[in-house]
């Protein structure tokens, strides 16, 4: 049984959940007492602190002739080659697993830890 929603909830859904809970708590004037309440107003934030947001929307927000998508694809391909894989392997992993990252993890090319994933 999953005891903590943070273990499985995507950040976007988590943020919406906190947003609605925060405004509901404010509306009903809920008092949160540190040490006795299940949440604190300080906890109403996205984890971890966001430094940048990148929308991977396949050219549907900004119609710029796939410039950003092509730049992202080139960066991923560069990473693949710089880490000893063959050119084109990024696309093969993408086709097989849905994302290159998921393929790198599944094939053991990348450790399933926060540091490795962040470095990727």
For residue 113, what pLDDT is reported? 85
- The CA distance from 8 to 73, in Å, is 27
Residue 9 pLDDT class (50, 70, 90 cuts): low
pLDDT tens per residue across span 57-109: 665 666 677 787 788 889 999 999 999 999 999 999 999 998 899 999 999 99
* pLDDT (mean) for 16-30: 75
Whole-prediction pTM value?
A: 0.50
The angle that helices 89-97 and 67-82 make with each other, rounded to 10 degrees, is 110
């Amino acid at each position: 049984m999953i005891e903590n929603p943070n273990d499985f909830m995507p950040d976007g859904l988590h943020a919406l959940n906190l947003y609605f809970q925060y405004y509901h708590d404010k509306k009903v004037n809920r008092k949160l007492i540190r040490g006795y309440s299940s949440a604190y107003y300080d906890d109403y934030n996205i984890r971890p602190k966001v430094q940048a947001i990148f929308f991977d929307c396949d050219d549907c927000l900004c119609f710029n002739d796939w410039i950003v998508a092509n730049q992202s694809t080139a960066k991923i391909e560069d990473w693949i080659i710089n880490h000893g894989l063959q050119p084109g392997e990024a696309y093969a992993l993408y086709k097989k697993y849905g994302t290159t990252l998921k393929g790198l993890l599944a094939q053991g090319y990348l450790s399933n830890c926060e540091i490795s994933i962040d470095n990727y």
